Amino acid sequence: MSKNICFIDGLEGILKYREIDINQLVELPYDAVSYLLILGELPVDQELAEYSSRLHGEREINREVMDIIRMCKLNIDSMEALRTIVSFISQFDPDINDSSPEGNLRKAIRLIAKIPTIVAVYYRMANGKEPLPPDRSLSHGANFLYMIRGSKPSQLEAEVMEKDFILSAEHELNASTFSSRVTASTLSDLYSAVVSGLCTLKGPLHGGARSEVMNMIEEIACPENAEEFILEKIAKKEKIMGFGHRVYKTYDPRGMIFKQLSRQLAEAKGDMHWYEIAEAIENTVIRELVEKKGKPIYPNVDFYSGVIYKYMDIPPQLATSIFAIGRVSGWIAHCFDQYEKKKIIRPRAFMLDEC
Ligand SMILES: CC(=O)SCCNC(=O)CCNC(=O)[C@H](O)C(C)(C)COP(=O)(O)OP(=O)(O)OC[C@H]1O[C@@H](n2cnc3c(N)ncnc32)[C@H](O)[C@@H]1OP(=O)(O)O
Ligand SMILES: O=C([O-])CC(=O)C(=O)O
């Protein structure tokens, strides 16, 4: 595979997957972006139809898996359930011991297809509702919303969910992808590598920031409270969740798209409340940290995505799992790249001083 999986220019705010700009990618179906990441090229129509049909046909989970999900406690973050269940389902994969590229692709498709079902089944059980079987006729985004809600989403909501998965899908050597790659570098199996990614994504300095953003917005409650809340956090030297990035020293291009999408949802629902709280937070952070202190602390991918979930009635408990549904294609693309290298990743301890 010749094209780089990801390119980031953190000073100019440019992001590409396989040489295609994120602003173009976000207009495609998630299945096409998943194919691009994993197989290296955008699919032609027939290839996309076949890939989607394989993905949509692998969404179901078996009875034993449902029984184990039922045993999870009801009040945990869905990431805890997801991490456990992904580890559990590897034993049912007929290709678990086939590490050929074809065997790995079949495992990849099962993982990408089943992860949204696991999250939705856990969520419905935890809320005392019967789980729903996936609907093969729906896109990745629409099917996920259908499985958690029990009714088909509006076209706008389905499109926003697809775009969320695309914007979350890949980001070079972020902490969770690095974890997955390290696991793959030992030639361990794909399920193990994805479990590594899940465990690392969960932390609040990484994918876990999304649910913290939602909690913060709820705590602030109205736009007039935002400034005082943020000033207090800054005075106490606390980090503001959903802001700052190791690589971007300007506005995260995905943050910009998420902001537009959350405004679009707010306008469509005729309710600017959550959007206005978010904008008041952003204005205060930019004024206090960027303009007054010269620190490049802008909204990252986790900030306005949290606002979107408020408009789609998605609870904080699901936020990081939704990130994982998108990111799994990126983890797998990196694992495939690592499997081809057949080289163990083993940094020296002094490199930690540079982290
Ligand atoms: C999908 C993702 O993983 S995107 C990131 C999601 N995480 C978050 O939103 C959590 C909040 N943000 C952060 O913790 C950080 O910005 C990180 C982890 C994303 C990046 O961290 P680093 O590159 O190591 O930056 P670091 O933490 O060293 O911060 C540099 C300076 O900016 C400040 N800073 C960084 N982020 C923030 C923030 N969100 N709020 C307030 N101050 C911040 C730090 O306090 C530090 O100030 P100092 O130099 O005066 O000590
Ligand atoms: O790249 C990183 O460090 C964090 C990350 O996963 C992202 O921004 O999507």
Q: What is the pLDDT of residues 129-150, one digit of tens each?
A: 999 999 999 999 999 999 999 9
**So what's the ipTM on this one?**
0.98
pLDDT for the residue 1: 47
Output the CA 173–ligand 2 centroid distance in Å: 8
- In the predicted model, is pLDDT for residue 2 greater than 80? no
- CA 323/CA 138 separation, integer angstroms: 19
Q: Which residue in the list 302, 313, 334, 353 is annotated as catalytic?
A: 302
Which one of the ligands is nearest to 206 CA? 1
**pLDDT tens figures, 176-215:** 999 999 999 999 999 999 999 999 999 999 999 999 999 9
134/124 Cα distance (integer angstroms): 13
Closest ligand to the CA of 282: 1
Measured in whole angstroms, how far is the alpha carbon of residue 76 from the centre of its chain?
A: 19
The whole-number average pLDDT for the span 256-276 is: 98
Does the pTM surpass 0.90? The reply is yes
- Please count the CA atoms within 13 angstroms of the CA of 21 that sit on its side-chain side: 8
Residue whose CA is at the smallest distance from ligand 1 atom 9: 242
Closest CA to 23 of 341, 261, 225: 261
Residue of 245, 252, 313, 353 marked active site: 245
| Lowest mean pLDDT, pick from 48-52, 73-77, 261-265, 293-297 | 73-77
The residue-averaged pLDDT of 92-115 equals: 97
Q: Residue 75 Cα, ligand 2 centroid: separation in angstroms? A: 27
Beta bridge partners of 299: 243
Q: Is the CB of 324 under 6 A from ligand 2?
A: no
What are the chain's domains?
6-205+316-341 (1.10.580.10), 209-311 (1.10.230.10)
| C-alpha 17 to ligand 1 mean position (Å) | 24
User: What is the average pLDDT score of the chain?
Assistant: 97
Which residue ranges have their beta carbon within 6 Å of ligand 1? Answer: 174, 205-207, 209, 239-246, 295, 297, 300-302
302 is known as an active-site residue: yes
**DSSP string covering 229-240, please?**
HHHHHHHTTPPP
Ligand 2 binding pocket includes 156 (Cβ within 6 Å): no
**Which residues in 281-317 are b (16+ Cβ under 10 Å) and which e?**
bbebbbebbbeeeeeebbbbbbbbbbbbbbbbebebb
Atom of ligand 2 nearest to the CA of 175: 3
* Ligand 2 neighbour 327 (Cβ under 6 A): no
